[in-house]
Structure 1
């Protein structure tokens, strides 16, 4: 681990949150039969133990992919995601660790290659957020930690994966509606999401000549363990997502199809773009 590695903050001790303990349960189940759109592909999904990551892993498996489930430390949730992937008849590998640690990212990708022999799709989904009412409340540790996880981690994962990605491969990064709208209590988080969008567009320009597509997904408010475990103030949870045009938060299985579309050949002429599953909020970009 690098000497400048920033450890997790203690301000929200419940993070990243357990899906096993969450009520009501997020909806991760794929909504339709598979059609082989990722047949015999190998995908890495970071943050795949719960929430959007679990839904993506489940849908990718339904569509024929073997899935490497990368996650921080929610072992029970990760084991359940592994069970879900294997129930679809696909192979699964769980690897626990911190995407903000470059050496761990290198080791994780090496384990995936050793297990599956190749890599076709990288989904950079892992992230963290810490609400603060004023910019002066954001500690240096929190600021460094949020950037380390949310954007440094994507750089590290792509750097580790790049030697194994061949023409036809796809990278899908998770940005956020906060990049487009802003979020008063999520200054550092929103800033990282802006960086992720710029990273996605620039990486697309860098890799498109090699036949590797890079796109992003910018979810709105989605019901996952992240928000009730400290990602939002407790008093905001009862009305979470009600300010969207649809009047409700989204479910992980309403976001996962955007990742699938961008990962498979349906999106063969799309790169450098962002899809917005956000409950109907109109944003520019």
Structure 2
């Protein structure tokens, strides 16, 4: 890719090339008819691909995003509605516990329930040394990637019935961390652990918990500080497939975990990294 930079959080519409989230390619088969989903970070990237797939599979969807991402979010809302499903937009910063509680209650109220929760939103910033990471930057990463899912899951659990699905976003960084992603990588290892722990805790309640572990995927996260400009040029080129993934290539994984035909899968981390890393 060409060198390019956007201020955090970045907009998919301004990327070169614009990522493929499945806008033109994903075709649903009614696998999630009648389901109700909440997806954080649903305006762009992997979250957007999951939202498009959910809607085209028959689910009503609420999305959360930062106010700065409103233009991307509007496109997603239109795509959900074009699929004939109810779309709910709930902008706000998930680093705030009170907002996380509001987010869930608003989604439940407007959707009429909740049975799919995707904790997708994340913060990633490349720093060559631990000495370059400010306390404020570290706090943003931890609050976004660890505290927010904790708060959101706690708020959602009273509404989740047997057959519900929680999906966390881990990363290849949990297994093969880059030197310049010290803080981000440890949050993804934590995500892997919470998925496996919570799956054991919620299994008796009939609630499944799984995670997706992407490798290099072309999203706004990468051009808004997640990678150095030098790494962007060869981004994904070191995978066995020789390229980065597109968000659309992960959409079916989220559908698989959300769909109750996969009702015996819980505590699993599904890797999608072009052959690199684990699992």
> Structure 2 length normalisation: TM-score?
0.95
2:14 is aligned with 1:21: yes
- Out of 85, 89, 98, which is 1:90 matched to? 85
Q: Which residue of 2 aligns with 1:7?
A: none
CA deviations on 1:84-115 (whole Å, 9 max, x unpaired) are 11111111000011112111011111111211
Q: Distance in 1 between matches of 2:12 and 2:277?
A: 30
Superposition pairs of residues 34-113 of structure 1, within 5 angstroms: 34-73=28-67, 74-113=69-108
**Contact 1:100–1:156 (8 Å) recurs in 2:** no
Q: Distance in 1 between matches of 2:33 and 2:262?
A: 15
Q: CA deviation at 1:136?
A: 1.3
Q: CA deviation at 1:160?
A: 1.1
Q: CA deviation at 1:266?
A: 2.7
Q: CA deviation at 1:141?
A: 1.2
2:138 is aligned with 1:171: no
Superposition pairs of residues 1-285 of structure 1, within 5 angstroms: 14-29=7-22, 31-73=25-67, 74-283=69-278, 285=279
Q: Distance in 1 between matches of 2:148 and 2:113?
A: 21
Match of 1:34, SS state, is coil
Deviates more, 1:107-116 or 1:171-180: 107-116
Q: Distance in 1 between matches of 2:277 and 2:226?
A: 23
**Contact 2:114–2:160 (8 Å) recurs in 1:** yes
> Structure 1 length normalisation: TM-score?
0.93
Q: Distance in 2 between matches of 1:269 and 1:229?
A: 38
What is the total number of aligned residue pairs between the two structures? 273
Q: CA deviation at 1:234?
A: 1.2
Runs of 4+ in 1 over 3 A off after TM superposition: none
Match of 2:175, SS state, is helix
Q: Distance in 1 between matches of 2:132 and 2:262?
A: 42
Q: CA deviation at 1:72?
A: 1.3
Structure 2: 5+ residue runs without aligned partners? none
Deviates more, 1:226-235 or 1:30-39: 30-39
Q: CA deviation at 1:32?
A: 4.5
Structural RMSD (CA): 1.2
**Contact 1:38–1:264 (8 Å) recurs in 2:** yes
